[in-house]
């Protein structure tokens, strides 16, 4: 895929990939953000985890999500 079609700038990106974890919904959502917006990505992933998967909105959830993020280079 040509990432320029998506308007993605070159550099480091962090990725939250829900499909890496088993779920009853077989969720495959992927959320990305530039590395400098890591905190925003954690917030978005936490919102998804609460709304779509019934997790409790806690600091522990955000800490765990932050540990699961992958970093990629575009």
Inter-helix orientation angle 59-68/38-53, to 10°:
110
Q: Provide the pLDDT for residue 13.
A: 97
Strands (E), the chain: 12-17, 30-34, 70-73
* Contact status, residue 46 vs residue 58, Cβ threshold 8 Å: no
Instruction: Supply the pTM of this predicted model.
Output: 0.87
pLDDT digits (tens, 9 = 90+) for 22-35: 888 899 999 999 99
Residue ranges per structural domain of the chain:
3-73
**Is 3 or 36 the better-scoring residue by pLDDT?**
36
Using one digit for the tens of pLDDT, what is the confidence trace for 19-73? Answer: 988 888 899 999 999 999 999 999 999 999 999 999 999 999 999 999 999 999 9
């Amino acid at each position: 895929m040509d990432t320029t079609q998506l308007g993605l700038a070159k550099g480091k990106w962090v990725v939250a990939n829900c499909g890496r974890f088993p779920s009853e919904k077989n969720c495959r959502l992927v959320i990305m953000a530039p590395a400098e917006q890591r905190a925003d990505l954690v917030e978005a992933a936490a919102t998804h985890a609460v709304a779509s998967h019934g997790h409790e909105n806690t600091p522990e959830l955000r800490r765990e999500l932050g540990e699961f993020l992958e970093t990629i280079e575009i």
